[in-house]
Amino acid sequence: MLDVIPCVVIDHNSKTAIVYKVGRKFVYLIPMKSGKLTVTKLTMSAFDKRGYSISDTPVSSALVTYLRHSGGHTQTAKQALESIREAVWE
């Protein structure tokens, strides 16, 4: 399912997240929420249980929204977003 990284995903509650890394056991994503944006690490099974699917939203569009998020970002989330920005806008 996650063939192209980074990508925007949406869960069964219509909440979006940017997936920026997929390892052997874990999916690393930045969910959009109120307050500070943080990196969340989910097992593949937890990711699937939340009903995430690939969104039609372009990563570049979502990235602008995430970088401008009024609640701020943790340092880890900010670094992840910056690395995505470099990859998307090279």
DSSP state, residue 5? S
Residue 49 lies in domain: 7-88
| pTM to 2 decimal places | 0.93
pLDDT score, position 43: 97
**pLDDT, tens digit (0-9, with 9 covering 90-100), for 53-82:** 999 999 999 999 999 999 999 999 999 999
Structural domain contains residue 2: no
Domain count, the chain: 1
Please give the sequence-ordered ranges of beta strands (E in DSSP) within 23-60, or none if there are none: 26-31, 40-43, 53-54
- pLDDT tens across 8-66, in order? 999 999 999 999 999 999 999 999 999 999 999 999 999 999 999 999 999 999 999 99
Flag whether 1 is in a domain. Answer: no
Backbone angles phi, psi at 2, to 5 degrees: -95, 70
Residue 30 lies in a domain: yes
